[in-house]
Amino acid sequence: MIRIESTTRPKKITVSRRTRKALWGYFFIFPALLYFFVWVLLPVLTSFGLSFTNYNTATADWVGLKNYIDIFTQTKVYSALLKTIQFGLELIPANMIFSLILALLVDQKIRGVSIFRTVYYLPVLTSLVIAGIVWASLFDPRTGAVNWLMRLLRLPPQQWLYNPDLALHSVVVVRLWKGVGYNMMVFLAGLQSIPKELYEAAQLDGASAWQSFRFVTLPLLKSTAFYIFVMACISSFQVFGEIYVMTRGGPAGATRTLIYLIYEEAFQYTKMGYASALAFVLFLLVAGIALFNLLVVNRFVEDGR
């Protein structure tokens, strides 16, 4: 009886079961899909549309490519772009070198290492507002600890955040302090995934500590370093909170990066159409650099193996 039934019915059941299951799939992802549409997809499309208008919360007239032409002809944008690039060029190499050194240190099997690891990670947990405030206090020209150290070292005290020549470097220091702990953890994961046998083999071959670092550790850390490099490139374009808290883009525009310029144009001068075009250019720039990294730098990394 059962056998006879099962020859006719299963097909019907599996089909309806499959559709029912697919419907359950849509049910499970529906809230996420709705959220994605409203807060991710729609904003991207709107941003693109607004960039061709002069939207300023009152009027929104079509201006064609005017915003984009303005962007490529204004010195303000050019200097913000230069600031952004300078920021990245200073921050990224310093961050990678220091976080690798820290990772090598906390990879040692010695007592108390986890305490050091935790302290190195604490700056990552600090919010950018608090990082900005505490460092503004450290950089205070009169009462701050940085100038105190300068005097101890018999160096002339500086104005730091108030000096147009030093303000950007000072922000780089803050960002470096806040960022190395995270990349240390990523490098550490990379270091710990290198098989111990390779070091033993190198030692048997009579390699010095430097040689085993140079010929075992470094080549095997390449992909980790590449990942960190890509992420660092992307995030160096997004430094906003520290700048807002410490310098508001000043003094004399010395820390006005692209992202800060977008904020200023959009929410202080309410030139939202123009700022949208700027945001889109920034997006293309970040995407372009990420793509360049993935296609060109990655090939270079792979070839070097």
CA pair distance 163, 169, nearest whole angstrom: 10
- Tokens in use for 170? 């000072």
Our finding on whether 43 is near other proteins (CB under 8 A) is yes
* 8-16, 105-113, 163-171, 200-208 -> range binding other proteins (CB under 8 A): 105-113
93-96-100-106 Cα dihedral, nearest 10 degrees: 130
Site string for other proteins, 61-100 (x = CB under 8 A): ----------------------------------------
* 4-12, 75-83, 216-224, 239-247 -> range binding other proteins (CB under 8 A): 239-247
The only residue of 97, 119, 218, 296 in contact with other proteins, by rule CB under 8 A: 119
Nearest approach, Cβ of residue 76 and other proteins (Å):
18
The only residue of 100, 259, 261, 293 in contact with other proteins, by rule CB under 8 A: 259
Segment 2-31, which members bind other proteins (CB under 8 A)? 20-29, 31
CA pair distance 14, 25, nearest whole angstrom: 16
φ/ψ of residue 117, rounded to 5: -55, -45
Calculate the alpha carbon distances from 156 to 147, 162, 252, 255 in Å: 8, 15, 23, 23
Our finding on whether 50 is near other proteins (CB under 8 A) is yes
Token pair 């150290």 is found at 149
Nearest approach, Cβ of residue 120 and other proteins (Å):
5
CA pair distance 78, 293, nearest whole angstrom: 23
Nearest approach, Cβ of residue 134 and other proteins (Å):
5
Our finding on whether 213 is near other proteins (CB under 8 A) is no
Contact 144/170 with Cβ under 8 angstroms? no
